Amino acid sequence: MNGYGTTLLIKQSPINRLYSAPMAGYTNYAHRELLRILGGADLIATEMVSARSFIELEQHGLEPPSRLWGIREEPRPLAVQIWDNDPGMLAFFAAKLAFDFRVSVIDINFGCPARQIAGKSASGSFLLQYPERIGNIVQKVVSAAAPVPVTAKIRLGRTRDTLNAVEVASAVESAGAAGITVHGRTAADMYRGKADWEEIAKVKTALKKIPLIGNGDICTAEEGVFRLRNYPVDGIMIGRGSIARPWIFRQIRQLLREEPVDPEPAGKDIAAMIIRQFTALRRQFQEHTALALIRKTVCHYAAGQSGARKFRNDICSVKDTETFFRLTARFFDTAFDLPDGSRTGDFQ
């Protein structure tokens, strides 16, 4: 092993193939820390980080973007996802990440359909219509970051009428990438409909040696194992399913090893995870920002449980830590200590 290589890891072990998806607004330091504690994911990614912002902040002698907070000391392996459409800027940023921050993998975003990225900034999924440009970007980033592996994350194409993941994947591989993730939707789909794993599977035919990582709609450990066993993918990437159930990677790993699978955590254990995440967020953010971030996450944990709708409404207007703790304790039927020494349960 070269100390960096996910490509090699995948080849060595059938277990090393579980990836945590980059998700803006969610896969912050606190989420990644929790994933590491729970175990099972082979590679954990940051949210996408703008190469342009990084460079502008650096030119003004300012701190790097907050999405890079904590990554110098963070355990490895760690993938940082980057976005822009300028090969020079991306290469510059990638070199910084490789040699200054010493991250394990650099992933380039060619899938984001959001208007700010794919519209105004002509980046993310906008670039899918130009496989050659993608190839050129990947090649520049690969040579700037070598030997740190560079991967790409794409969608099936811009629209259902212009599916071109096979062509894009070929360009990505020829440009020297170490792996490719395909989300089984088009940019026009946004998050509607279902991820099309048959189309993901077609990409395998374009690849000579690099791993194909399939992504989209895996919400349970069984679904994860099903995708791995029934589709020609070398790994799977999980996004939203791991916000609601960050223990999913561990369960998939157990299923793959034919070990007993951990039961779903009890409410009190979920509440403890939430408080841990919030405490980690508070190390990075002011109270109001930490609350805004944890509120979104907590709604994912609660989804599907009885009373989730009311809980979501209540939690969305929470403006202070104490109320957040109390509502969380009540919903997950538990109690814990508040900063003032009282117990949440005492006041329900």
Interacting stretch for ligand FMN, rule CB under 6 A, among 21-29, 33-41, 273-281, 305-313? 21-29
Q: State yes or no: residue 113 binds ligand FMN (CB under 6 A).
A: no
Q: State yes or no: residue 112 binds ligand FMN (CB under 6 A).
A: yes
CA distance 134 to 168: 7
Which one of 214, 216, 224, 235 is in contact with ligand FMN (CB under 6 A)? 216
Q: State yes or no: residue 22 binds ligand FMN (CB under 6 A).
A: yes
For the CB of residue 111, give the shortest distance to ligand FMN in the complex, in Å: 5
Which one of 11, 36, 240, 282 is in contact with ligand FMN (CB under 6 A)? 240
* Interface mask toward ligand FMN for 293-332; x: CB under 6 A: ----------------------------------------
Q: Please tell me which residue in 112, 219, 299, 316 is annotated as part of the active site.
A: 112
For the CB of residue 47, give the shortest distance to ligand FMN in the complex, in Å: 5
Q: State yes or no: residue 183 binds ligand FMN (CB under 6 A).
A: yes
Q: State yes or no: residue 133 binds ligand FMN (CB under 6 A).
A: no
Q: Which is nearer to ligand FMN, 41 or 48 (CB)?
A: 48
Residue 69 CB neighbours (<10 A): 17
In order, the DSSP letters of 175-226 are TT-SEEEEESS-TTTTT-S---HHHHHHHGGG-SSS-EEEES---SHHHHHH
- CB distance 102 to 74 below 8 Å: no
Burial of residue 348 (number of CB atoms within 10 Å: 0-12, 13-18, 19+): exposed
Q: State yes or no: residue 118 binds ligand FMN (CB under 6 A).
A: no
Q: State yes or no: residue 109 binds ligand FMN (CB under 6 A).
A: yes
Q: Among residues 235, 231, 224, which one has the least CA distance to residue 45?
A: 235
Query: SS3 of 26, please?
Result: coil
Alpha helices in the chain (DSSP H): 6-12, 29-38, 51-59, 87-99, 131-145, 165-174, 197-203, 221-230, 240-244, 248-256, 267-284, 287-302, 308-316, 321-331
Q: Note the residues at the interface with ligand FMN (CB under 6 A).
A: 21-26, 47-48, 81, 109, 111-112, 153, 183, 215-218, 238-241
Catalytic residues: 112
